[in-house]
Structure formats: structure tokens, C-alpha cells
Amino acid sequence: MNLIGIDLSWQSAKNTSAAAVGLLEGNVLSIHDLRDDLNSVGAVVEFVGAYPEVEGLAIDAPLIIDNVTGQRSCEKELSRVYGARKASCHTSNLTLYPDAQSVELASKLAEQGYAHLGQPEISRWQLECYPHPAIIEIFGLQERHQYKKGTAVQKREGQVSLASLIKQLTDSPVLQLIIDDALSHYLAEVEIRLKRGAALKKNEDALDAIICTYIAGLYTLGTSNAVYGGVEDGYIYVPQTFCLEPGVVA
């Protein structure tokens, strides 16, 4: 089955979104397509529609927002667990995002039959994920992996390190990850170190999309997880499975 991971820009007029497509066969997930230039919700929906056999999507963005102010309950719950590990949530509410494009995307997907936290092999599904705590759990890290903040040099170093971790999933006993050769430049150290400005940001988005697709694969396999909140007022799915080979230290 095809699975899609989406790193959605909350403001696509300013930033683009990235989406990766993976084919799941047994416990092998093969990423075979990736776009880092999707500039609207419509573009994302069109990308998803190009793969009619997509069973599920993991999306890094708040898909359900009904609180007027403050944080969603799921954001508070997750932050209580991961705050000390520097992986707290951003705040989303109707005052900050009265017409959130993420909610628009979730609604359009629901119209196409993608149910929130739907059951794999029973229904098409979508789920909200958050790469920072997921990366902590998948790779057994002590705290949030730093690849988004700081100077350009620090961001490049963080992406190089994250790419190295992702490549180790090739031998995962839980879910093997194979990246198509045509997409390998997103993980190549020499390529990342050459990137500047918008190109560096797009590479970050691409890495997030790959992580989101991997999260979708773990969800499909039914591995250990935690769900903060619920479909009534917002939720965040976080895998709770160490995915590297036994004895490997990230």
C-alpha cells in the first residue's frame, strides 16, 4: 500500500510544503516520490490524488482546532511529557489561525474518506503527527534533535546528523526504510552542506516529510504508540518504538 507523509506549511503563501510517498510491503517502506515545492492546500490534495491507492497519511500540522485561545488539550498533554526533553508543542488556536490551512486540508481529506485515526486495512485514514517527539522515540534520543533552529551552519549540521539517523533505518528490525536513489540527495552530506537559504529550508521540509511517512508506516504496522488528545478536539500521534538495530546508539 502507498502511504504519504506531509510536512505542511501553515502559511503556504509564504512557505512551501513537502510530501513523500512510500510503498509499504511487509515491514519494508520504500520512499519513491517526494515533492518539496507544494505551494497550496490544493497542490497537496492534487499530489495525494495522483496516487489513488493511498491508504493513509501522517501530517505534521494541527488538523483539528476548536479552541479559541491557548493551546489545544493535546498540545498541553504532549508538552507535559516531552517538555523536559525540549520537544514541547507550538500553540494553535482559532485566534492565531482562524482559517487554518491544515484544518482545510484535513476536511478535504475527510471528504475523500480519510478518517482521523482510522484503522489500517479497514478504512483510509489520516493522522496528525509531530516529528520532534517521534524522532526522540524512533532513534532513542535523550532530547529533541536540533536541526531547525540556530545559524545556517547549525541547521546544516543538524540536517546532516538527522540524515545519518534516517539512513540507519535501512537495517531497522521494526520497519526498514529504503530511499529511492533519485531522492538520495536529500540525505547526502555533501549536498546538504552546499545548501543555503530557501534550499536549506526545503531540505529540512523533505526530511520531515520522510519522517512523517515513516510514522505512517509504524502506524500501519500497529507498533507501540501514544495518542495525546482525541478526534473530538484535536490529537497528536507519537510512536513509542525504538527502531534501530539492538545495540545501536543514535
212-222 pLDDT, tens digit each: 999 999 999 99
Q: What is the reported pLDDT for 146? A: 93
Distance, in Å, from the CA atom of 105 to the CA atom of 102, rounded to the nearest integer, reads 5
CA atoms within 13 A on the CB side of 180: 12
In tens, the pLDDT along 2-37 reads 999 999 997 656 789 999 999 999 999 999 999 999
Q: What is the reported pLDDT for 52? A: 81
pLDDT-wise least confident of 5-14, 62-71, 193-202, 237-246:
5-14
Buried b (16+ CB within 10 A) or exposed e, 145-169: bebbeeeeeebbbbbbbbbebbeeb
List the grid coordinates of 113. Answer: 474518506
Write down the pTM of the prediction: 0.96
Q: What is the reported pLDDT for 250? A: 61
State mean pLDDT over 131-138.
98
In tens, the pLDDT along 140-179 reads 999 999 999 899 999 999 999 999 999 999 999 999 999 9
In tens, the pLDDT along 27-73 reads 999 999 999 999 999 999 999 999 988 999 999 999 999 999 999 99
Q: What is the set of domains in the chain, with CATH numbers?
A: 2-239 (3.30.420)
Closest C-alpha among 125, 193, 121, 131 to residue 157: 193
Closest C-alpha among 39, 13, 50, 77 to residue 235: 77
Q: Which residues pair with 88 in a beta bridge?
A: none
Cβ 223 vs Cβ 242: under 8 Å: no
State mean pLDDT over 121-130.
91
